[in-house]
Structure 1
């Protein structure tokens, strides 16, 4: 049985990821006086979504056997249950797309999340080494596909795809969800598979928690220092200038905010670490930050778990709170006073989560998904058990 501190640490990290997404959606990305990047953008852009995906992988591992992955019909039930979970989350994501205006205040991650889970199904049985190796493959090859296929893939159908988009433009929606969208599933599988691998370790052990933190620090430093050396010491920046036709000011802006899509003019674009560019080094940088956050919360939760209650309560029902947050944003009343509305969203989420968790446990949407998955698992396990019993009976007849 996992310790209470461990669960609090994972939930608190997930709560921080939710806070980060709220900040990105609500707070200004730049300082209006100086024109520079805002503190919220520096702290949360790209990293919050990466942390969400990493923790999704951890959660999948813990619900499918932890250190000892389920086998046989139990694993089959896990896979079918994950399929149901993916479809339910995707349906909510498509509904959010319908609610959002044409020029939306936020780009939802839920539909992408559903695709993450669908792609994770074949990897659910693997051990840590195979999962970490698979994550590396996704982290290296997916950016190359993004760069080289950008001109061949159909344009976006919508910032937040809807049911109608899926029916009328399935190719555009598929390419958006896999490679060209805000949270493209193929590169994001690097985060999810690392999380799945971490969940196959004994996260109760202090030594493992320390290793997660130390590896996170090392990966982050390596990513940013490697990018800096390649761009400014080995000529990458000049190569980007010469092939892009941009001025230095324009290129500097692109390196801060990112291009609309990775230009195919030169492979040097793969050396940048700008949030949401999903280059190998950008993935590595966000992965390192996510590992650091998880490691810190795992280490401190047993000692200060009560102080983490607002975050951990939010983190235990992020599906519900994130959905409510997006619906509230769709009303578009927050533009005039972003800081006030950020505080309102954050306080409302924390208070609701703590009260609901204390009174009823799981969040409302989490309950629906959990009940559906459990019912599916029982049906699959029962069907396979009956099938096996029938086969055994036939085999024993004279």
Structure 2
């Protein structure tokens, strides 16, 4: 129940990320200041809601393979088969959603992430935490190196104006010649690099005995300590130790307008001068400073995908929240209070699909910006209330959400509980 409640909180954050409220009752026109709370929330939730989803994916794989008592032998092979089938179903669902919404989504990436976790299900929790720590350092280092020097790395997919246009949606299935490029785009994209340490940390957490009260208390206390320690470490490194200066210069260079070619002098006869040609290419991006490794995003100055501390901090937050929710749900009163959220969290996949279609098809497109047109807080509030109410009503009669039931039926039919 606690896992589903945490998943519901992540759903609320994810929908906020996609709806991007810019005003309370009316959207804020582009170029005007947003209400401070809404602007802060948009920055704060930008990567953090999906971070919780990444970590919970690892927890789910751990629970599907035995939890604190990992499966072995035939039971583990059967669990691996079900996870592999689940990954294939998610690929088809993600491509289908892309076909409907007209934009990429994160569901297709989960196909590779689930398969990535399969060999790690044989590893003990302590070693999984160590592996998560290694990836938490290696992934941001790779991200910064790629941003600064990765244009010539042959294993990376081509990007930019000269890159080939890959098929989208279900068309991917009928273009086998593009499968390698599509695979590269999923494996080496920013989301995958950022997700890997969180997936492994979630797998490690799922290997703990989550039914033991002592484990729950240690999770809550340790998570709170990591959360506070992460913020303090980032503040100390960027402030008193001066690493924030390099990040400030980097952000100023990002925001600076590109230099224009010099204007020719005015002709003596008073005619208009011939304008210089526009440069055919944009100036090179400024180098990402290595200080980004220690800078967390909003309200800090960093970029989440470049930060080691951001990943560590999100593991701490997730540990604290999950441990606290596990402690709360020991009480029947709190079980009743939190049950509506658990009902919604149990339908997270369904609600992801619904909000993705709504945000891409019904919120309008902003040709001058990124994504859809600016929204007020009203669409988000209506969606959140409707999703919560409908989840409660649905779960009164059905054990799983619509898409969750579909995935479950396909996986159990493909890999029965008993062989033969």
The TM tier, using the shorter chain, reads 0.7 to 0.9
Q: Give the secondary structure class of the aligned counterpart of 1:327.
A: helix
Alpha-carbon distance in 2 for matches of 1:29, 1:170? 39
Cα distance change of structure 1 residues 330 and 266 upon mapping to structure 2, 3 Å threshold: closer
Number of equivalent positions: 357
Alignment-derived partner of residue 309 in structure 2 = 281
- Comparing 26-35 with 115-124, which one deviates more in the overlay? 26-35
Alignment-derived partner of residue 14 in structure 2 = 21
1:346 paired with 2:346, answer no
Of 311, 323, 328, the match for 1:295: 323
C-alpha deviations, 1:266-297, integer Å up to 9, x for none?
Answer: 32222221264252111112222222221221
Equivalent residues in 2 for 1:77-116, closer than 5 Å? 77-101=78-102, 108-116=105-113
Q: Taking structure 2 as the reference length, what is the TM-score of the superposition?
A: 0.76
C-alpha deviations, 1:213-252, integer Å up to 9, x for none?
Answer: 112112222222222222222232223456x4836987xx
Cα distance change of structure 1 residues 248 and 179 upon mapping to structure 2, 3 Å threshold: closer
Higher Cα Rg, which structure: 2
C-alpha deviations, 1:68-121, integer Å up to 9, x for none?
Answer: 1110121111112111111211221122222224xx5xx632122222212111
Alpha-carbon distance in 1 for matches of 2:165, 2:383? 26
Structure 1 residue 198, shift from structure 2 partner: 1.5
Alpha-carbon distance in 1 for matches of 2:329, 2:344? 15
RMSD: 2.9
Alpha-carbon distance in 2 for matches of 1:22, 1:160? 27
Cα distance change of structure 1 residues 217 and 160 upon mapping to structure 2, 3 Å threshold: farther
Structure 2, unmatched stretches of 5+, are: 257-284, 298-302, 365-372
1:11 paired with 2:8, answer no
Alpha-carbon distance in 1 for matches of 2:252, 2:414? 54
- Comparing 22-31 with 284-293, which one deviates more in the overlay? 22-31
Alpha-carbon distance in 2 for matches of 1:135, 1:158? 34
Alpha-carbon distance in 2 for matches of 1:114, 1:263? 34
Report if the CA contact (8 A) 1:46-1:276 is conserved: yes
Equivalent residues in 2 for 1:302-321, closer than 5 Å? 302-303=330-331, 304-321=334-351
Q: Give the secondary structure class of the aligned counterpart of 2:305.
A: coil
Alpha-carbon distance in 1 for matches of 2:207, 2:111? 22
Report if the CA contact (8 A) 2:87-2:114 is conserved: yes
Alignment-derived partner of residue 267 in structure 2 = none
Cα distance change of structure 1 residues 241 and 46 upon mapping to structure 2, 3 Å threshold: closer
Of 194, 198, 201, the match for 2:205: 198
Cα distance change of structure 1 residues 174 and 268 upon mapping to structure 2, 3 Å threshold: farther
Structure 1 residue 336, shift from structure 2 partner: 6.2
Equivalent residues in 2 for 1:150-161, closer than 5 Å? 150=147, 151-152=150-151, 153=156, 154-155=158-159
Larger fraction in helix:
1
Alpha-carbon distance in 1 for matches of 2:243, 2:388? 45
Alignment-derived partner of residue 179 in structure 1 = 188
Equivalent residues in 2 for 1:318-397, closer than 5 Å? 318-333=348-363, 335=373, 337-378=375-416, 382=419
Alpha-carbon distance in 2 for matches of 1:160, 1:139? 32
Q: Taking structure 1 as the reference length, what is the TM-score of the superposition?
A: 0.80
